[in-house]
Amino acid sequence: MNSIEHFGKVISTDILIVGHGISGLSAAITAKEKNPALKVLAVDKACVGFGGKANKGGGHISYIPEGAEETYVEYHTRNLGDYLNNQDRLRRYAHSTVKTLDKWESWGVSFRARDDAFQAHPIIPWKMFVVDLDMLIPMAKHARQAGVEFMEKVAIVDLLTDGDQVCGAIGFDLVTAEILVFKAKAVVLANGNQNWRVMRMWSSSRGEGIATAWRAGARMRGAEFGSFVNMISVEHFQVSYGSENAMFNAKGEFMDDRADLDGNLKDTFGGADLGGTQSISMYKQVAAGNGPIFEDTEKNDYPSTPQGMNIVPEVGRAADNWFRPFAHKWWHLLWEKNKMGGYKTSSKMKEVAPGFIGEFGPVNVDDNWMTNIKGLFASGDICAGGIQIFGAVPAPPGRNRGSGLIAAVYHGIHAGPAAADYVTGLEKPGQIDPVQLQALQEDMLVPLYRSQGVTAAELTWKIQCIMTPVPNSALKREDRLKAALAETLALKAELPKLVASDGHSLSACIETKAMVLCAEMFFRASLERKETRGWHIREDFPSRDDSANPYWVDLENVGGEMAVSRTEVPLNHYVYQPG
C-alpha cells in the first residue's frame, strides 16, 4: 500500500480549523490561548481577513443586558424557539453575550455606539449597536500574533477518520489543484452554512462543511428550519431593509404580516421577526390576485435609524458615534451599483418579493461543540441550527437581527478551547488509512476526468429552482414536499455526471453536490415534522402538536442512506413548558 505522501502534499497540525471567517478566527485565537504549545492551522477558500459573511453584512450586534437574561430566555423559548431550544444552552448564551463582546472587542474590532445601544425589540430586553465591517482584519492580525498559522485558497472536501475518531482532512489548492492531505488531532468545521447561492450576498455559504461532516458520519438536527427569507427589491434583488413593515398590495391595502394567515398560524408566531410570515402573506395575496406587492418607501423608517443610515447611505450620514467608515463605503458602492442596474422607477412604491436565503446549519454538536465523531468540532453558522440554542428558527440571524455575528464569536470561543482541551488530553491520535484516503481522493477528483456531462452551474440552477418557491420551502404541505424531494433525488442521480476542468470548477462541483444533499435533508426533515412549529409552517398541519413531548428531527448517514428519527426534547428537565 502507498504511503500517504503518495496522495499529495502532507501537512501536519494539532488543530485544523476549516474556514477563517469570524467563527473560525474566534476558534483559532481561543484555541491558541488555551494551549499555546499546540499548532493551530486555519485554512480557507478565501483570503485571510476577507472570507465569509461577516464583512458583507449589516454589522448589527444584539446582546442581552446583564440582569435581563431570564426574561429573554422565557420570551425566546415561548415565542421563537417554540420549546425546541435547549433551554440550558440558551440561558448560558444569554449570560455570556456581554462577556463575548468584551473578548471580541479585545481583539481590536471597531464597535460603534456600544454605550448608546438601543432597545431593539418591543418585548425582549435586547440591545443593539453596530460593528464596522472590516472586523476580520484586526481579528486575523491578532490571531497571527498569537501564533495561529493560515493557508488561503484551499478547499477542504472530506474528513479522514480512524474508527469513530477524526484524524485529518483532504482538500486541494484552488489555484493549482494540488492535492493536500492534512494530518490533524482535532478538526473544527467553521465553514459556514448553506444558502444555496440564491442571494448574492449570502453566496459564500454553499454547505460543503455540512456535506463533509455528513459523509464522515456526523448527525444533523433541526434541518427543517433552514429556510430563512428576507424581503428584496425586484429592481435590484438586494435586501430591502425595513420593507417588511411597510408593505402594500396592488390594491393599496396595508399588509399586516399576519392578517392573511389562518387562526392557528397567527397564534404560533411571536415577536418581531424577519421575512418568514411576510413571505407567506405575500404568496397568499398574489395567489388571490392582489399582487404584486410594494414597499411604500416613505413609510419605511428603517433607513433613517442610526443603524439604517450606515446601510442606506443615500439618506445621509450616521451620527459620529454610529458612523462606520468601512461599512459606509461598502453600502454606498452597493447602492450606486443597484441604481445602475435597477431603480427603473422613481416612484415611492417599490415592488418587493421574498428573497430566499436559507441559513441552513444543522450539524449537531454537544455542550462542548463536538459532533458525534470524536475530535470533530463545529463552530458558527454551520451548527447554529444543530446546536439547538435557538430552537425552531433558521440559523442566526434567524428571526432576531443581530444574532449571527455574536453567536458565531460565542461558538468560536467555546469550540476552540474545547478542541484544545481534547487534543491536550488525547492519548492515542488516530492514524490515516491510505485505503480511505485513496477512495476519497478518487471521489473528489473524478469530475476532472470526465470529458462530458453536466456542469455545476446547470445543476445549481435546478436545485435553486426547487428550493426557492415559497410553497416549497416556507409554506409546506406533504404533497409539495414529496414532489420537491422527488425532484431533488432526480438531481442527485445526475451528480455522477458532473464535469470540471480546473480547481475552481472542481470546487463548484463539490459545492453543487452539497446543495443537493442539503436540499434532501431539508425536505426529509420537513416531511417528518407533522405540525406547525416556529419557522416550520405546514399548511396541512396548521397547529403546534402539544399532545406529546416535542421532538427534534435527526438525520443520520446509515450506509449512504438518510435515516430520519426523532429525539424527545427533555422538556421536564427545563424551566419553561407550553401553556
> Which of 96, 204, 388, 473 is in the footprint of ligand FAD by CB under 6 A?
204
The smaller minimum CB distance to ligand FAD, of residues 211 and 293, is found at: 211
Residue 208, interface with ligand FAD (CB under 6 A)? yes
Tell which residue, 546, 556, 549, 553, has the closest CA to residue 567.
553
CA gap 529, 319 in Å, rounded: 47
The smaller minimum CB distance to ligand FAD, of residues 238 and 532, is found at: 238
Minimum distance from residue 45 beta carbon to ligand FAD (Å): 4
Minimum distance from residue 402 beta carbon to ligand FAD (Å): 5
Residue 45, interface with ligand FAD (CB under 6 A)? yes
> Which of 403, 468, 488, 526 is in the footprint of ligand FAD by CB under 6 A?
403
122-161 mask for ligand FAD (x: CB under 6 A)?
--------------------------------xxx-----
Residue 554, interface with ligand FAD (CB under 6 A)? no
Minimum distance from residue 94 beta carbon to ligand FAD (Å): 16
Candidate ranges 16-24, 259-267, 291-299, 368-376; the one touching ligand FAD (CB under 6 A):
16-24
Contact residues for 474 (Cβ-Cβ < 8 A; gap 6+): 227, 229, 276, 279, 280, 283, 354, 537
> Which of 97, 205, 243, 305 is in the footprint of ligand FAD by CB under 6 A?
205
Residue 21, interface with ligand FAD (CB under 6 A)? yes
For the chain, the farthest-separated pair of C-alpha atoms sits apart, in whole angstroms, at: 73
SS3 of 268-312: the string is: HCCCCCCCHHHHHHHHHHHHCCCCCEEEECCCCCHHHCCCHHHHC
What is the per-residue DSSP string for 205-264?
Answer: -B-HHHHHHHHHT--EE-GGG--EEEEEETTT-SB-TTGGGSEE-TTS-B--TTTTS-HH
SS3 469: coil
Minimum distance from residue 513 beta carbon to ligand FAD (Å): 12
> Which of 13, 96, 191, 277 is in the footprint of ligand FAD by CB under 6 A?
191
Given a contact cutoff of 8 angstroms between Cβ atoms, the answer to whether 567 and 386 are in contact is no
Contact residues for 230 (Cβ-Cβ < 8 A; gap 6+): 199, 239, 274, 275, 354, 355, 357
Angle, alpha carbons 224-550-467 (nearest 5°):
10
Candidate ranges 92-100, 103-111, 201-209, 436-444; the one touching ligand FAD (CB under 6 A):
201-209
Candidate ranges 85-93, 202-210, 313-321, 481-489; the one touching ligand FAD (CB under 6 A):
202-210
Say if strands 179-189 and 376-378 run parallel, antiparallel, or are unpaired: parallel
> Which of 51, 313, 394, 430 is in the footprint of ligand FAD by CB under 6 A?
51
Residue 275, interface with ligand FAD (CB under 6 A)? no
282-321 mask for ligand FAD (x: CB under 6 A)?
----------------------------------------
Tell which residue, 539, 523, 554, has the closest CA to residue 222.
554
Minimum distance from residue 26 beta carbon to ligand FAD (Å): 8
Minimum distance from residue 427 beta carbon to ligand FAD (Å): 29
Q: For residue 125, with 0-12 CB atoms within 10 Å meaning exposed, 13-18 middle and 19 or more buried, which class applies?
A: middle
Cross-strand bridge partners of residue 563: 556
405-444 mask for ligand FAD (x: CB under 6 A)?
x--x------------------------------------
372-401 mask for ligand FAD (x: CB under 6 A)?
--------xx--------------xx----
Minimum distance from residue 557 beta carbon to ligand FAD (Å): 18
Residue 503, interface with ligand FAD (CB under 6 A)? no
The smaller minimum CB distance to ligand FAD, of residues 389 and 569, is found at: 389
Q: For residue 374, with 0-12 CB atoms within 10 Å meaning exposed, 13-18 middle and 19 or more buried, which class applies?
A: middle
Site size for ligand FAD (CB under 6 A): 41
CA gap 232, 188 in Å, rounded: 34
Contact residues for 538 (Cβ-Cβ < 8 A; gap 6+): 476, 477, 529, 530, 531, 532
Minimum distance from residue 174 beta carbon to ligand FAD (Å): 9
Helix axes 503-528, 434-449, angle to 10 degrees: 110
| Beta-carbon count within 10 A of 210 CB | 33
> Which of 226, 276, 385, 404 is in the footprint of ligand FAD by CB under 6 A?
404
The x, y and z cell numbers of residue 47, run together, are: 483570503
CA gap 502, 507 in Å, rounded: 9
The smaller minimum CB distance to ligand FAD, of residues 60 and 476, is found at: 60
54-93 mask for ligand FAD (x: CB under 6 A)?
x-xxxxxx--------------------------------
Minimum distance from residue 380 beta carbon to ligand FAD (Å): 2
> Which of 16, 22, 485, 553 is in the footprint of ligand FAD by CB under 6 A?
22
Contact residues for 41 (Cβ-Cβ < 8 A; gap 6+): 11, 13, 15, 16, 17, 148, 149, 150, 151, 182, 184
> Which of 13, 15, 19, 143 is in the footprint of ligand FAD by CB under 6 A?
19
Given a contact cutoff of 8 angstroms between Cβ atoms, the answer to whether 413 and 100 are in contact is yes
CA gap 185, 506 in Å, rounded: 27
Residue 17, interface with ligand FAD (CB under 6 A)? no
Q: For residue 95, with 0-12 CB atoms within 10 Å meaning exposed, 13-18 middle and 19 or more buried, which class applies?
A: middle
Minimum distance from residue 354 beta carbon to ligand FAD (Å): 16
> Which of 4, 15, 17, 18 is in the footprint of ligand FAD by CB under 6 A?
18
Residue 229 backbone phi and psi in degrees, to 5 = -130, 140
Binding site for ligand FAD (CB under 6 A): 18-19, 21-24, 43-46, 51-54, 56-61, 154-156, 190-192, 201-202, 204-205, 208-209, 380-381, 396-397, 402-405, 408
